[in-house]
Structures are given as C-alpha cells and as structure tokens.
Amino acid sequence: MRRLPPFSLLTLSLCSALPLLGHAAETSAPTTTQLEEVQVIGTAEQENKQMPGVSVITAADIQKRPPANDLSEIIRTMPGVNLTGNSSSGQRGNNRQIDIRGMGPENTLILIDGKPVSSRNSVRYGWRGERDSRGDTNWVPAEEVERIEVIRGPAAARYGNGAAGGVINIITKAASKTTQGQVTLYHSFAQHSEEGDSERADFGLSGPISELLSYRIYGNIAKTDADAADINAGHESARTGNQVGTLPAGREGVRNRDVNAQLNLKITPEQSLQLEAGFSRQGNIYSGDTQNTNTNANVTKLLGDETNILYRDTYALTHRGKYGFGTELSYIQYEKTRNTRVAEGLAGGTEGIFSGTGYNTAVLRNTTVHSEINVPFTAWVEQVATVGAEWVEQKLDDPSSNTQTTTAGGSVAGLTSSGRSSSSSARIASVFIEDNAELRPGTMLTPSLRFDHHDIVGNNWSPSLNLSQVLSDDFTLKAGIAKAYKAPNLYQLNPNYLLYSNGQGCYGQTSACYLQGNADLKAENSVNKELGIEYRKSGVVAGITYFRNDYKNKIESGLVPVGTAVGGTGSTANASIFKWENVPKALVEGLEGTYTQPFGDQIKWSNNFTYMIVSENKQTGDVLSVTPKYTLNSMLDWQVRENLSSQASLTWYGKQMPKKYDYHGNPVTGTATTELSPYALVGLSATYKFNKHFSLTGGIDNVFDKRLWRAGNAQGVTNIAGAGAATYNQPGRTFYTSLTAAL
C-alpha cells in the first residue's frame, strides 16, 4: 500500500492526529475488494448533500437562464433563498445579497470550489448592520460554473464560521482531458431608458499540457450600467427643509474584470496537486446612493464615477490523495482584498456619506489552511469517518474607519480622540470529526462534531446529527439538527471602531451617543432543525420541509448604555456610550417545498416554494430582515427537439412587512409602515444549438413589466419620511441574448 508522501499538504494541518490515524488505517486496511464495497456509502459531506435543505444549479440551468452579471440572480430562485439587506433598515436598499432562510447575508458563507470567499468583509460594517457591498457571488463568470450547491440548515453547520444560514458553493469547471474552449458574448437591453443595460464577454480554455500536467484559464469583462439618477422621482418618501429635491438612488452599476489560471499536476495515479491564482477587479458606477441622506454636493459631483473599487487576489495550493486507508484533501489559500473608496463620514446622518472626494484603501488579508481525511471502515456497520482541521487568519487594515473624533460627545475611556490604530485581526483554529453510517439498509445516520477556538471570543462546540430513513420505495424521511455559529466581525470586535450620533440614532433617547466596538462579544449561535419528507416515483419528485432556527447571541448595536463620555461640546456633551451587544434570542421558522413533474421525455415542470412563519428578534419584537412572506418559483422546460429548448418561468413574491420600531425603539408611523404587496415576475427564454460549436440563448425577463421604485430607507430621519418596505427597485422588462462559440 502507498504511504503518505512527505510533501503532502497534510503537514500543514493543525491536527497532529491526522497522519497518526492515517498510519493506523494503513496497517489494518481491508483488501481492495472490501474497500470498494465500503466506498459506496460515501462521506458525511456527500450524505449531507442529500438532505432536504440542499439544492443544485447545473451548468445547463445557467445556460438556459444566464444571469446579466451576478450569479445571485439565479441562486435566488432556489428554495429558502432571497435577496435582502442584512437588517430591516433599508439602508443601501438596492445592494441586496443572498439571504438563506431569513438569517441574513452575514450568515451566508460563500465558497468557490469549497474555499471561503470573504472580500465583502473589507467593507465597513455600519450602525444598522449593513455594508455598502454587492456581496461575494460575482467573482466567477457564469459560463465557467459547473454547478452551484445551495446548502441550507443543519447540513451547512460542518462549514463552521458564517454558515448559520447556509452555504453557497460555486464549483467551477475542471480542466478537460482534451483541449476545449469557448467564448460567450452576453447583452441585455432594458426597455426603459432610465434602467441600466448589461454586457459581458468571457472565455475559457483548458486541456492537457502533457500526460501528467493540465491547465485551465478563464477571463471575463463585464459592465452593468447604473440606473438614472432620477429614476425614483415621483416615488420618493416626503422630503422637507434641506432635503427638498433629494431622491433615493436606483441601482448602481458595476464593472468587472476577472482572470483565473489553474495548473493540475498528476503526481501519481492516486495523487494530484493543483496550483491556482486569480485576480479580479470590481468597480461601481455611482448612482447617488448614500447610507442615510444625499444632500452632500459630492453626491451629484460623483455621479457616474467609480466611488468604490475592490481588487481581489487569490492564490491556492490543493493536494488530493487516495491511499489504502481512504482519501485526503488539503489546501492552503491566501486571499487579499483591497477596498478603495471615497472617504465616508462616521457620525449620525453623515455616516456613509462622502466626507470629501479623496480615496482611502482598506486591505483585508485572509489565510486558510484546511486538511481532512476520509476513512471507510466496518464496526458493526459500514461507515466512513472524516477527521479534519482548519486554521483561518483574518487581518484588516482600514485607516478610514477608526477616525471618528470625540470632540463633540466627550472622551471615551481608553480611546484617544485621533490617531487610533487602523489594524485588527483574529484567528480561528478548528478540528472536526464526522461519521456516515448505514445502520441498516435504507437508514443513514450522520453525526459530527466541530470545535473552533477564536483567539478573542474563545471556544465554540458545534455538534450535528442528520438522519435519512427510507420509508418505502417512494418515500424517504429526512431530519437534522445542528448548532451553527458565527464569530463577531472585525469591526464589531474592535474598540477603536467608533460611531457617533447627535441623537437620532440612539436607542431609547434623543441625546448624543457613541457606538463602540466590543472585544467581549460572544459568538452568535443558532440551533438549526429541519424535518422533511420526499417522494420519488417515475420522474416525479416532491418534498416538504419544516425548518426552525433558534438564534442566540445575535450581534446588534446596543440597546442599553454601558457608560458616559466625559466632556464634549454644548448639548452633545457627556454622550452615552453604547457597544455592540449580544441579543439573547431570535427565531426563524418556515416551510420549504419542491415539486417536479415530467410530461413525457420532453417537458419538465419544476417548482419550489418558501413560506416564512416567523422572523423575529425576541428582545425587541422586530423582524430580523425584510423578506417576502412566501416565494414561489416555477419553471416549465420544453426540449422542443435535440437542438432547441424553451423555458417559461414565474416567480411570485408574497407581502413584505417593514420594520416595526424606529432607532429609538418607538413604533414606526406614517409612510414608515408601508408594506409591499405581492407581485409576480414572468420570464421566457429559448436556446438553439446551431451545431457543436455555436449556440444562442435569447429571452425576456419580467415579461409583464412589473416595476417597483425605491422610496427611501425604512424609517425616517430629520426632513425625510420613512419608506417602510419600499426600499429597492425592481427593474422592468428586459431583453437579452447570449451567444457561445466553442472549440
């Protein structure tokens, strides 16, 4: 039997038990025939992907419904998934991100080829829990995606920090055994001139260099235009005084540049080494959005400019091995994000608005080392055990976010008014063990335990248990429970990160206050449960799943002052000091369902729905985020003939309720109580393959031209009325084409 090579990336593992376990497995490994029989069971990770909270989007799905620019456009059609802000504030309302089961974008972990993506964490975290970010689902061109795994509920807990809501795993196309390549040109045309068009061009090329070495390279250039600055004119919430004439912004534009290269070395028939490097640039096209108000003269001056640019560099080395005892996967990844943006204010209504026209750059460095082995064995029953370790280091240098002075509100103990350190960091060391056991034919049990040590927050244990039970030839019962967690982000933990308000933003009072980072925070925890039943017969697939997340220690801006500043200026002197704090309890509860019905060999009707029963902060009684009461996605796919297919889609969103209480804790009134009524979007598309080299997809999004306009932020501030749930734009009818030429 082949022994573990000395250059294996396992040597990077933090868990010294891994090679010991591997050696023990070698000395007592069963015969080759026995191994092949045991391997049929699969690993715990593979089994968990059969749970009801897991959906897959294939490359064929993407070709039939190509996104204009961001993969979130198609991911949002999966059960349990919506696009929302991270809170109910409506700030940055058009920069919506992936939200899974109502847990918010910050609890959605984005992976590319199983490796974490965290560039959005370089963007400052605001008082209400929002970032001026588009998220991390737009770093891979759509045509280079092999599949997207959407993992919800207990099955996601194994991925550790940030996966309490779920995981989006974007799997890219692997290097091909023969030389292959393609070029895709996409263009969308908005029917309404005030809405932005999109265009992109990408290419992919892969193949062998020699018998042992292969390559893959892809590149992308894309642009989505910004909405017109006055797109929401006539739909804005009431404005008075110095806010007369101001408008809530439409969707900002974006420019993308991506290039990624990968080399694959087959060291032996059982081992491979993969080296990958990538560079991406995303710059916005400014449309006039700010966090609170937009009276600043720089808002108009910078329209159409790039006011924030993200540069993302990634380098990864991955080792895979097959041995007598089982299989091994190890990787090390370095991710560097430079966030260059126009300087922003940190106080009250000017938080998030331009404080000048100069640019600052925040730099986020993330290093991840991961190693795991899978060992099949028999102990009473056939099983596959997984043992692994992980180490993650985050380093952030943000020179602009720690600059709020204490002149107005008074000095804060332990802080200087200026010159505070711009650096913060955290490290998480983790070990985990999983088992996938076939207790009897048709009964699979998958227990796991993960331990994480955060060098600031401390220890966290995350156990989980998933069960799959075949009830009959047609019905399967699936259940799971897991404790998931999320560590505080680097802004929440940093005492040097200080925000200030003259009174409008202070909970329970109208006098001045500070919000300060808190190094004594606990990690957020959520006990996630789901119970589902699935039916499969003659191509018909149907299922319904109940889920409940008991959310503890959610981190929000504080509700009770922890101290008082000393000194200050006039009426703002001796400001109250709030800190980020853990909310004792919150609850998310709902239902998901799927139904797929084939009609012969050529027509398939696919449906899924999500119904939110509860989404509530138990301390305040407010909603966690603004999501539709229900969402229904329906797709009719007709393979007209071998080279022609057509699709019709329907998405129906239920009522959206706004936040219940304002920043002071008082019930919202007036237009801040505005609800969004249910609405539906219909799409049509068709794909024609001319031959093996050329294919064309064309379609119409939002056939019936249903539009929504942003009225403002959810609640009002001085001279601006609240908008309730009317905090984002829904674009109207759009036509698109996508042409692919392949080798």
Which domains, and CATH codes, for the chain? 9-291+303-742 (2.40.170.20)
d(Cα 688, Cα 602) in Å, to the nearest integer? Answer: 15
- Tokens for 667? 């019930």
CB contact at 8 A, 41 and 384:
yes
- The model's pLDDT over 38-73, given as tens digits with 9 standing for 90+, comes to 345 788 777 776 777 789 999 999 999 999 999 999
Tell me what percent of the residues of the chain surpass a pLDDT of 70. 94
SS (H, E, C) 560-603: CCCEECECCCHHHCCCEEEEEEEEEEEEEEEEEEEEEEEECCCE
Tell me, rounded to whole angstroms, the distance of Cα 673 from its chain centroid.
28
CA neighbor of 573 nearest in space, from 511, 509, 515? 511
Contact 736, 726 (CB under 8 A): no
DSSP H helical segments within 197-351, as ranges?
A: 297-301
Is the pLDDT score of 11 beyond 90?
Answer: no
- Over residues 76-113, the pLDDT tens digits come to 999 999 999 888 888 988 999 999 999 999 999 999 99
- 524-544 in b/e form (b: 16+ CB < 10 A) is bbbbbbbbbbbbeeeeeebbb
Give the Cα separation of 345 and 428 in Å (integer): 31
Q: What is the pLDDT of residues 633-653, one digit of tens each?
A: 999 999 999 999 999 999 999
Q: What six digits make up the tokens of 53? A: 């909270």
- pLDDT (mean) for 622-629: 92
| Separation of alpha carbons 554 and 337, rounded Å | 26
Q: How confident is the model over 661-690, as pLDDT tens digits?
A: 998 899 999 999 999 999 999 999 999 999
What's residue 40's pLDDT?
56
Q: Are 81 and 139 in contact (CB under 8 A)?
A: no
**pLDDT, position 356:** 83
644 C-beta neighbours (distance < 10 Å), count: 12
Q: Are 688 and 696 in contact (CB under 8 A)?
A: yes
Cα distance between residue 338 and residue 161, in whole Å = 22
For the record, the structure tokens of 124 come out as 């400052």
| Cβ–Cβ under 8 Å, residues 603 and 639 | yes
How far, in Å, are 74, 254, 393, 492, 724 from residue 305 at the CA level?
28, 10, 34, 30, 29
Q: Which tokens hold the place of 539?
A: 């191509």
Smallest CA-to-CA distance from 342 within 385, 306, 289, 303 is with: 306
Per the CB < 8 A criterion, the answer to whether 547 and 608 are in contact is no
Cα gap 609→653, rounded to integer Å: 10
| Lookup: tokens for 336 | 């560097």
Locate the DSSP E strands across 47-163: 54-58, 81-84, 97-100, 108-112, 115-117, 145-152
Distance between CA atoms of residues 312 and 136, nearest Å: 11
- Write the CA distances from 730 to 196, 233, 527, integer angstroms: 12, 15, 34
Q: Considering the chain, what is the average pLDDT of its residues?
A: 92
- The pLDDT assigned to 38 comes to 38
| pLDDT bracket for residue 297 (50, 70, 90) | confident
Q: What is the pLDDT of residue 12?
A: 36
Percentage helix, strand, coil, to 5, in the chain?
A: 10, 50, 40
The Cβ of residue 621 has, within 10 Å, a number of other Cβ atoms equal to 9
Looking from the CA of 142 toward its CB, the CA atoms found within 13 Å total 27
Q: Give dist(CA 99, CA 97) in Å, integer.
A: 6
Q: What is the pLDDT of residue 648?
A: 98
**Do β-strands 513-516 and 734-742 pair in parallel, antiparallel, or remain unpaired?**
unpaired
Asked if residue 675 lies in contact with residue 659, where contact means CB atoms within 8 angstroms, the answer is no
The DSSP line for 293-310 is: ----HHHHHTTTS--EEE
Give per-residue pLDDT as tens, 202-233: 999 999 999 999 999 999 999 999 999 999 99
Question: Which pLDDT tens digit goes with each residue over 593-609?
Answer: 999 999 999 999 999 99
**CA 477/CA 489 separation, integer angstroms:** 37
Comparing CA positions, the residue from 304, 252, 306 lying closest to residue 93 is: 252
Which pLDDT score, from 0 to 100, does residue 351 have?
A: 85
* Buried/exposed code over 291-325 (b: 16+ C-beta within 10 A; e: otherwise): bbbbbbebbeebbeebbbbbbbebebebbbbbbbb
Q: Which pTM does this prediction carry?
A: 0.92
Question: Beta strands of 654-719 (E only): which ranges?
Answer: 679-689, 694-701
**pLDDT tens, position by position, 517-543:** 999 999 999 999 999 999 999 999 999
The yes-or-no verdict on residue 35 having pLDDT over 70 is: no
| CA Rg value for the chain | 26
Which backbone phi and psi does 680 adopt, to 5 degrees? -130, 150
Confidence at residue 295, expressed as pLDDT on a 0 to 100 scale: 75
| Lowest mean pLDDT, pick from 40-54, 170-184, 445-459, 507-521 | 40-54
Whether 37 shows a pLDDT value over 50: the answer reads no
Helices marked H in 215-264: none
**Average pLDDT rounded to a whole number, residues 130-140:** 95
SS3 (DSSP) at 34? helix
Q: State phi, psi for 625 to the nearest 5 degrees.
A: -155, 165
User: What confidence category does residue 490 fall into, taking pLDDT thresholds of 50, 70 and 90?
Assistant: very high
- Laid out side by side, the sheet with 145-152 consists of 54-58, 145-152, 166-172, 108-112, 115-117
- Both tokens assigned to 708: 């929504």
* Cβ-based neighbours of 174, under 8 Å, separated by 6 or more: 146, 206, 216
Dist CA 142 CA 34 (whole Å): 41
Report the 10 Å Cβ neighbour count for 421. 12
User: Could you tell me what percent of the chain has a pLDDT over 90?
Assistant: 85
Q: Are the beta carbons of 363 and 338 closer than 8 angstroms?
A: yes
Question: What tokens does 79 get?
Answer: 């059960």
Q: Does pLDDT of 24 surpass 90?
A: no
Amino acid present at 319: H
Torsion 573-579-584-589 (CA) sign: positive
At 352-402, the pLDDT tens digits run 888 888 999 999 999 999 999 999 999 999 999 999 999 999 999 999 999
**129/489 Cα distance (integer angstroms):** 11
